[in-house]
Structure 1
Amino acid sequence: MRVPLAEDLAIADEPRTSEGLAADRALLDDIASWMRDERAYSIGAPVNLDIDYRHLAPFLAVHGNNAGSPCGTSEYRLHTKHFERAVVDFFAILAGAPSGAAFGYVTNGGTESNLFGAFVGRERHPDAVLYASSDVHYSVPKIARLLRMELATVPTDRHGAMDPRALESACRANRHRGAVVVATIGSTGRGAVDDLPAVHAALADAGVERTHLHADAAFGGPLAALGPSPRPWGFADGADSIAISGHKMLGCPVPCGIVLARPEHVDNIREQGAAVGADDDTIGGSRDALSPVLLWHELRRLGRQGMVDRVHECLRIAEYAAERLERRGRHPEHPAGTNTVLFDAPSQAMCERWHLFQVDGRAHLVTMPHVTEDHIDRLCAELGDPPTDG
Structure 2
Amino acid sequence: MAQLPLDDSVDIPDDPAGSSSGSDRDVALLKELAAHMLGERDHMLGFPVNLDFDYRPLADFLQVHGNNVGSPAKNSEYGLHSRVFEQAVVSFFGRLAGLEDAFGYVTSGGTESNLYGCYLGRERFPEAVLYASQATHYSLRKIARLLRMDFVAVQVGDDGSMDLAGLRRHHSAHRGRPAVVVATIGTTTGGAEDDLVGIREALADEGTDEVHIHSDAAFGGLIAALSPEPRPWAFESGADTVALSGHKMLGAPLPCGVALARPEHVTAIHRPDVAVGSDDDTITGSRDAFTPLLLWYELRRLGRTGLARRVTHCLETAAYAEQRLREEGHHPERAPGSNTVLFDAPAPELCTRWNLLTVGDRAHLIAMPHVTGEHIDRLCADLRT
TM range (shorter): over 0.9
**Superposition RMSD in Å:** 1.0
Instruction: Look up the match of 1:139.
Output: 139
Structure 2 counterparts to residues 207-286 of structure 1, below 5 A: 207-286=207-286
SS of the residue aligned with 1:229? coil
Tell me, yes or no, if structure 1 residue 3 matches structure 2 residue 13: no
Give, as a single letter, the amino acid of the residue that structure 1 aligns with 2:201: A
Q: Deviations over 1:9-48 (max 9, x none)?
A: 1111212221111011111111111111111110000000
Structure 1 CA distance, aligned partners of 2:3 and 2:156? 43
Question: 69, 92, 96: which is aligned to 2:98?
Answer: 96
Q: Deviations over 1:38-81 (max 9, x none)?
A: 11110000000011111210000000001011002110010001
Q: CA deviation at 1:5?
A: 3.5
Partner of 2:328: 328
Instruction: Tell me how far apart the structure 1 counterparts of residues 7 and 350 of structure 2 sit (CA, whole Å).
Output: 27
Partner SS, residue 182 of structure 2: strand
Q: What are the Cα deviations for residues 254-307 of structure 1, in whole angstroms up to 9, with x where unaligned?
A: 000000000000000011111101111000100011100000000000011000
CA–CA distance in 2 between the matches of 1:286 and 1:4?
Answer: 36
**Deviation at residue 4 of structure 1 after TM alignment:** 4.8
Deviation string, structure 1 residues 321-368 (Cα, Å, up to 9, x no partner)? 000000000000011101000000000000000000001210100000
Map 1:1-390 onto structure 2 (within 5 A): 3-5=4-6, 7-16=8-17, 17-98=19-100, 101-384=101-384
Once the two structures are TM-superposed, the CA of residue 220 in structure 1 deviates from its matched residue by: 0.2
- The one-character-per-residue Cα deviations of 1:129-164 (angstroms, maximum 9, x if unpaired) are 000000000000000000000001100001110001
Query: Is the contact made by 2:213 and 2:241 (CA closer than 8 Å) also made in structure 1?
Result: yes
Give CA-to-partner distance per residue, 1:71-112, whole Å, 9 cap, x none: 0211001000100000000000000012xx110000000000
Q: Which amino acid aligns with 1:10?
A: D
Q: Which amino acid aligns with 1:26?
A: A
| Paired residues of 1:171 and 1:208 also in contact (CA < 8 A) | no
Which residue identity is paired with 2:147?
L
The structural deviation recorded for 1:193 is 0.2
Counterpart of 1:232, as a letter, is: P
Q: Tell me the TM-score normalized by structure 1.
A: 0.97
Q: Distance in 1 between matches of 2:111 and 2:277?
A: 27
Question: What is the DSSP-based 3-state SS (H/G/I as helix, E as strand, rest coil) of the residue aligned with 2:215?
Answer: strand
Identity of aligned residues (%): 58
Contact in 2 for aligned 1:64/1:79 (Cα 8 Å): yes
Q: How many residues align?
A: 383
Q: CA deviation at 1:191?
A: 0.5
Query: Secondary structure in 1 aligned to 2:84?
Result: helix
Separation in 2, partners of 1:4, 1:38 = 14
CA contact (8 A) 1:172 1:207 kept: no
Report the counterpart of residue 388 of structure 1 in structure 2.
none
| Cα pair 2:108 2:256 within 8 Å, conserved | yes
Assess if the C-alpha contact under 8 Å between 1:318 and 1:340 holds in 2.
Answer: yes
**Matches of 1:138 and 1:145 in 2, distance apart?**
12
- Structure 1: runs of 5 or more not aligned: 386-390
1:155-184 CA-to-partner distances (Å, cap 9, x unmatched) read: 000111000111111112222111000000
Q: Which amino acid aligns with 2:63?
A: A
Give the distance between the partners of 2:85 and 2:103, measured in 1 at CA: 14
Give how far 1:6 is off: 5.1
CA contact (8 A) 2:4 2:36 kept: no
Residue 2 (structure 1) shift: 6.3
